[in-house]
Amino acid sequence: MIFLSPAKINLTLFITGKDKKDGYHYIDSIIDPVSLYDLLEINVSDDKEIVLKDKLNKLKIPTTKNLIYKAAKLLQNKYNVKKGAIIEFYKYIPDGSGLGGGSSNAATTLKALNKLWNLKLSLKELEKIAIQIGSDVPFFIRCKYGRITKKGEKISILKRKKINWYIIIIPKLCKIKTSLAYKWYDKDFVLTEKTTCNKINKKKYLHNDLQESVLKRNKILNRIRDKLSTITNNENNISLSGSGSAIFLLCGAKSNAKRLFRKVKRIFKNCYIFMVHSI
């Protein structure tokens, strides 16, 4: 069976604290799932082997490091599943872009194998498993517009007023490790007290606490953002998604998104450029 694995956009990302025990950050983020997908084709096998095939040869990592494989093995071991799976995946969401591709793949794998292995686990049970793989993974279990807090494990589904349209720009060969982006943030800002997004810049719809530290260290992304600001004459509708390297432009309507998409494609070379919408 074929399963769609969507990307996400962080409309807001506030860092609200840090756990001194494990070093992970507490966050408060509004996330919108969007219409950019990886594809996973998953079939059950009679033996216990998990076979993973990168059909587009995009990820240069060992199979055991892939979050799809980790999710499948975690589920298999936890519930002593006697069957295995052959998983072929087609990677269209650029790696290291802050769009949650790997986390989405892991969550999609959990949901797919829950169905194919007939485990009958609830979404809540799947979320508890997902947090063991990564902080972004639980969000993709329900994959609905919402707010995530704590270390990513607390998810509140929100009502979206309207569908958002986005232009996403990602420089090719530009990847940013999430852990590195947070280290940069820690170097630049000292968290002296716990803060919440209610105290910070409530009038601004888009906000990303990691953006300043990332753009300061990446001249390419900084130039892209400045150029977009010139094109749109409005820097308030431009933001970094997650830890980057994706920069997105929030558009009010499909017609405006189409016009800007054509313009951006002419201007930005050596970049992945997508026009997507909320799902």
Q: Write out the catalytic residue numbers.
A: 8, 136
Q: Which residues contact 210 (CB under 8 A, 6 or more apart)?
A: 13, 15, 181, 182, 184, 185, 240, 242, 243, 244
* Structure letter (DSSP) for residue 23: -
Q: Are 30 and 158 in contact (CB under 8 A)?
A: yes
3-state secondary structure of 97: coil
| Whole-angstrom distance, CA of residue 165 vs CA of residue 94 | 19
Pairing relation of β-strands 247-251 and 165-171? antiparallel
* Contact indicator for 165, 264 with CB cutoff of 8 Å: no
Q: Which residues of 64-101 are buried (b: 16+ CB within 10 A; e: fewer)?
A: eebbbbbbbebbbeeeebeebbebebbbbbbebbbbbb
- List the structure tokens of 157: 């589904």
The DSSP secondary structure of 151-190, one letter per residue, reads TTTEEEE---SS--EEEEEEETT----HHHHHHHHHHH--
Q: Give the whole-angstrom CA distance, residue 131 versus residue 153.
A: 6
